[in-house]
Amino acid sequence: MKTRLTELLGVEHPIMLAGMGGVSYSSLVAAVSNAGGYGCLGASTMSRDTLIEEIAATRARTTRPFGVDLLTAFPDSLVEHVELAIEGGASTFVAGLGVPSQIVELCHQNGVLVVSLCGKVDHALRARDAGCDLVVAQGTEAGGHTGLVATLPLVPLIVDALAGEIPVVAAGGIFDGRGLAASLALGADGVWVGTRFIATFEARTLPGYHDRILEAREDATVISRAFTGKTMRVLSNDTTARYEADPSLLHPFPDQLFTSMREGTFHLGGDGFTSGVDFRREGYPAGQAVGGVEEILPAAQIIQRMVDDASEIIARLAQL
């Protein structure tokens, strides 16, 4: 399955692992890259030392390309962390939450591609204007920080707006070969998958995370500011209900994140300190795709199944 994305990234399959903070660490990143996809480290919650270690551990486990995902919402450490990603040998820098204008030139000077997550057409146009090399069109179905527009309209709208200038990768609610085939049909060059990869043996998780993902139905998530102060899709629980009942308790980003950490309701990304995780109160980011996640699998198996099923679907449709 060759697309502009596989060409640009130098990979076999048009499947990217979302750089999920607290989840996409070296084991999962390397497993995805070794399986012919494109692994991305979720570095948004990593300290400087952890980032250095995780990049080194990724390189020790794979010789294939991989990326590093950071949030532009933490501008103080952004340039330094991007420099570490470049030195460590990442081939892309991915920016969640905002167009990373300030580091595009630095990345390009070092041969690193720049990717921006976009929830609206305007974001995608700003990313293109800033010099980004590809955009991820992330629909509201997605786990983690997310916008309001659904994947089905968002992807073709961004594809049309960019008119082929740079590749578009679809995200939000994609968990199998049907999602991959549908994304290609919408004009995307590949997919960016988060939630499905949480339920892998290689993912870094929290106590209770896998169990909750496996039991959750498609309506078990809610968009809430409860854990960071920004709109984030998570599994609904007592904490999301409390803030929904009284939004005046909320602080703006990032103060709400510090509040959650202090109150012991958000451990994702912490350096292994997970005692006191209570699933009724804990922030577990997840997308609506949870409804389709029924077993923990090796990441390579998820990728192979997606590619096989999508190829079969595309061949079947071609007969119509």
Ligand X SMILES: Cc1cc2nc3c(=O)[nH]c(=O)nc-3n(C[C@H](O)[C@H](O)[C@H](O)COP(=O)(O)O)c2cc1C
Q: Per CB under 6 A, does 92 bind ligand X?
A: no
Token pair for 263: 């109150």
Q: Per CB under 6 A, does 104 bind ligand X?
A: no
CB 221 within 8 A of CB 44: no
Q: Per CB under 6 A, does 14 bind ligand X?
A: no
Token pair for 97: 């939450």
Least distance from ligand X to the Cβ atom of residue 69, Å: 5
In the complex with ligand X, the residue whose CB is nearer, 171 or 313, is: 171
Least distance from ligand X to the Cβ atom of residue 319, Å: 30
CA 53 to chain centre: 20
From residue 90, alpha-carbon distances to 83, 112, 164, 195 in Å are 10, 7, 25, 23
x/- contact string, 165-194, with ligand X (CB under 6 A)?
Answer: ------xxxx-----------------xxx
Residue whose token pair is 């996409």: 24
x/- contact string, 140-159, with ligand X (CB under 6 A)?
Answer: -xxxx---------------
Of these, 37, 39, 42, 283, which contacts ligand X (CB under 6 A)? 42
3-state secondary structure 184-196: HHCCCCEEEECHH
Least distance from ligand X to the Cβ atom of residue 320, Å: 28
284: left (phi over 0), alpha (psi -120 to 50) or beta: beta
x/- contact string, 195-234, with ligand X (CB under 6 A)?
Answer: x---------------------------------------
SS3 content of the chain, % helix, strand, coil (to 5): 45, 15, 40
- 281, HSE (Cβ side, Cα atoms, 13 Å): 11
Q: What one-letter code names the amino acid at 154?
A: L
In the complex with ligand X, the residue whose CB is nearer, 51 or 286, is: 286
Q: What is the binding site for ligand X (CB under 6 A)?
A: 18-21, 23, 42, 44, 69, 71, 96, 117, 138, 141-144, 171-174, 192-195, 285-287, 289
